Structure 1
Amino acid sequence: MKKVYFASPLFSEMERRYNAHIVSGLRGNYPSLDIYVPQEQLEINDKQAYADSKMIANFDTEALIASDLVIAILDGSTIDAGVASEIGVAYAKGIPVIGVYTDTRQLGGDNLKKVEALREIGENQFHYVNLYTIGLVKLNGIVVASEEELVSEIGERLKK
C-alpha cells in the first residue's frame, strides 16, 4: 500500500471541507492508498486541546518522511507556511510531490491585454506563487491545475 501525505491549510471551515472533499474523492478512486491527512490527527490538531510546536512537528514529520508521495495544496493568497515547510522536507527526503494549484487567475496567458497589463504598476492580472517553493515541487514532482489532473497523475504514478 502506497502512503500519501496530504499537505494543505487546515484552519478555516472552508479549508477543512475542501480537504475532506479532495481526500474523500481520492480514497474513492484509489482505496489502496493510505492517505495521511493532518486535520484528521486529533492528537495534535484538536484545536480545543493542547499540542506544542515540537509535538506537531514530530508527529507530522514522522508521517511525512514515511510517505511515498506528497500531495500539496498550493491555493490561497500565498502558499500556506506549513505546506511550504512540508514541501521542503519532502524535497530534502526525495519524496515526490504533486502540487495542486487551481487558482483561476493563472488562466489567460495568451490574452495579450492581460500580458501587456504587466507593464503597468498594480495591474498584474495573474496570481503570484513563491517560485522557490514551486521550484522544489517541480524538481521532484509536478504541479497540476485541477482535481481531475490530480486523480490522473496519481493513477500514472501508481502504474510505475
Structure 2
Amino acid sequence: MNIYFAAPMFAKSEQIYNSYLVEKIRKQYPQLKIYLPQENDTINDKAAYADSKMIALADTKKVEESQLMIALLDGVTIDSGVASEIGIAYANHIPILGLYTDSRQQGADNQQKLEALGTVAENQFHYLNLYTVGLIKLNGQVYPSEEALLEGIQQFVTQGKVDE
C-alpha cells in the first residue's frame, strides 16, 4: 500500500519531525510504502534545480498513486503545499488522515476560554482553514496526537477504510 506523507518541509525542525514520524510509522507498518517528499532529491534537493512544473508533476503523480494520505496540519497555517496535496487527494477519492497536535486546542470546556471568544483579539484557540479541514473530514479523519494517528493507520490497514 502506498501512502503519501504531506507535511511542511523547509525548516530543519520540520524535516527532523517528518523523518521521525515517518520512521515510526515504517517500523510499525513495514508493509507500507511511504512517500516522504523531502526524501525525493530529484525535486527537493534545494542546492539543485527543479522548476514548479517538475515539482507539481512529480508530487501529484505520487499523490495519485497512493491509497492513503497522511497530512500534518500544524503550523501558523496549514502549509500551502500540504493544502494543495490535500485537494488533489480529495479530488482522487484518496482517504486522508490529518494530524493536528496544536496544544491550544486543549481546554475546549474551559468557560473562561469560551467567554474570551467574544472579546476582540482574545481567541484562546488556534484556527485551521475550514475548507481544507472539510476536505479531509469528507474522506478521512483529523487526529489530535501521534498515538491516535497510529491507531487510525492501523484501522485503515486492517479495514481498508477510515471511520468518520
TM-score using structure 2 length: 0.96
The CA deviation at 1:108 is: 0.6
1:27 is aligned to 2:26: yes
CA distance in 1, matches of 2:82, 2:70: 10
Counting only pairs closer than 5 Å after superposition, residues 104-143 of structure 1 correspond to structure 2 as 104-143=103-142
1:50 counterpart residue number? 49
- Aligned-residue Cα RMSD (Å) equals 0.4
CA distance in 1, matches of 2:8, 2:99: 12
TM-score using structure 1 length: 0.99
The SS at the match of 1:6 is strand
Dislocated runs of 4+, deviation >4 Å: none
Can you give the 5+ residue segments of structure 1 that lack an aligned partner in the other structure? none
Identity of aligned residues (%): 57
The CA deviation at 1:30 is: 0.3
Deviation per residue, 1:37-80 (Å, 9 max, x gap): 00000000000000000000000110110000000000000000
Instruction: Report how many residues are paired.
Output: 159
Partner letter of residue 90 of structure 1? A
CA distance in 1, matches of 2:106, 2:141: 18
CA distance in 1, matches of 2:149, 2:39: 21
CA distance in 2, matches of 1:85, 1:107: 28
